[in-house]
Homo-oligomer: A and B are copies of this chain.
């Protein structure tokens, strides 16, 4: 095309290459559209697993009445559902903790949203049945490597009640196409409303167990270790928001300009997004630009008059239908999970 040389597009932001960790350029995409596969954030614990013929067979065993081995070609023929699901890394916004923590310094792009299609996990568990006393379901990914001196696979468990939730699914499509290799081909567990570690990629085996699963990604990583020495597992996404426009420290044009962004929560829906220009003394409501009742995420905007030469501090906080509101300060925890303090930016009008 004649004018192709003038085309401009955003790219993933590289955080590490081994393993590959790259974040979505969240300030430069609209969440009104599902995030394109090539801009979906990539978060890996190990190098990418090799695809073999065995990768297409899913095994379900452990405390079941009858174990199951089922092939990709059979799974895609079963009754399936499609949901718009937000997947957000538990470490999203880690770089923003004022008291710094070690680990990947994710800014605000370790999250992406799109349409996942798959078969409810429940469908498979109804087929296998389960023994009395099953408490958890363990999910194994094909990705593996050395963790704390041991060779392990990426493995996570869900409480049995959550595993039976009708929206928890074994997905095989993203945005209408087979899931790409980097995001779990051929199967990825999808757990809506939970941070991304629960949505196990390259799913290969599922075990039903009666004891507490204690793998390193369950009891060492993905645990909030608080200052007072208590701890708590990382589960659902916290209520959160991001200002996409303007950018922090941007020189904005004077006159009426739009302030816009996104808000999301793990349980319930977003009920309110508020904006303050005086560090939280007064709040005004932003408008919703997407329906609040269907999706976990909303786009919001607010029109503001900027006067040339003035400096503006802009704070935004979201509240969800369960009454939870973003705090002014982050809840510090040793591994830096679940950052969800209200976002503050400073801009100057030209």
Contact = CB atoms under 8 A, between A and B. Distances in A.
A11 B13 contact: yes
Given A100-B346, A105-B247, A181 B17 contact: no
A347 B102 contact: yes
A37 interface: no
A103 B181 CA distance: 38
A181 B249 contact: no
B6 A181 contact: yes
B247 A16 contact: yes
A51 interface: yes
Contact of A11 (B11, B27, B51, B347): B11
Nearest to A26: B14
Contact of A14 (B13, B50, B180): B13
A68 interface: no
A10 interface: yes
A50 B13 contact: no
A151 interface: no
A25 interface: yes
B16 A13 contact: no
A249 B20 contact: no
Contacts of A182: 5
B14 A249 contact: no
A249 B104 CA distance: 8
Nearest to A349: B102
A250 interface: yes
Contacts of A181: 5-6
A251 interface: yes
Contacts of A16: 247
B22 A11 contact: yes
B348 A102 contact: yes
A101 interface: yes
A12 B250 CA distance: 20
A267 B300 CA distance: 50
A17 B250 CA distance: 13
B251 A103 contact: yes
Nearest to A7: B48
A28 B20 CA distance: 11
A8 interface: yes
Contacts of A25: 14
A212 to B, nearest CB: 25
Q: For A6, A16, A102, which residue has the most chain B Cβ atoms within 10 angstroms?
A: A102
B101 A249 contact: yes
A230 to B, nearest CB: 22
Interface in A10-43: 10-14, 16-18, 20, 22, 25, 27-28
B17 A102 contact: no
A278 interface: no
A8 B16 CA distance: 10
Contacts of A287: none
Contacts of A81: none
Nearest to A109: B14
A180 B100 CA distance: 40
A258 interface: no
Contacts of A20: 8
A248 interface: yes
A3 B181 CA distance: 10
Given A6-B47, A8-B18, A105-B249, 11 more contacts: A6-B50, A9-B17, A11-B14, A11-B22, A14-B25, A14-B27, A17-B28, A100-B249, A102-B348, A103-B249, A103-B251
